[in-house]
Amino acid sequence: MTADAIRTVQVLISGRVQGVWYRAWTEETARGLGLAGWVRNRRDGFVEAVFSGPPDAVAAMLSRCAEGPPKALVTAVEVVAEGLPTPEGFSVLPMA
C-alpha cells in the first residue's frame, strides 16, 4: 500500500463513552476493518483514538464511532489531527 493510499486521523469521541465497552468495541471494529492505531480513555471523559488505513476504511470507522457499542451514547466524533505517522497494529492504551 502506498503512502497516498493511507489516511491517519486522531479523533476525540464524546458522550457516554467510558464504562460502556467502547474501547474494546473500537479495537474489535478497527481490526475488522483492517485498521492500525490505538484507543484510550482520557481523564476528561473523552475517548481518544488514532485510526490508520485505506481512506474508505477510516471513513467507515468514523461513521461507526458515531454509533458506538449498544450502551454508548455518542454526542460527537471530532477529527483533531490528520497525517500522523502510521502506527503498527491496533492496541488499547492506558488512560491518559
The residues annotated with a catalytic role in the active site are 23, 41
Helix (H, G, I), strand (E, B) or coil at 5: helix
Determine phi and psi for 78, rounding to 5 degrees. Answer: -115, 125
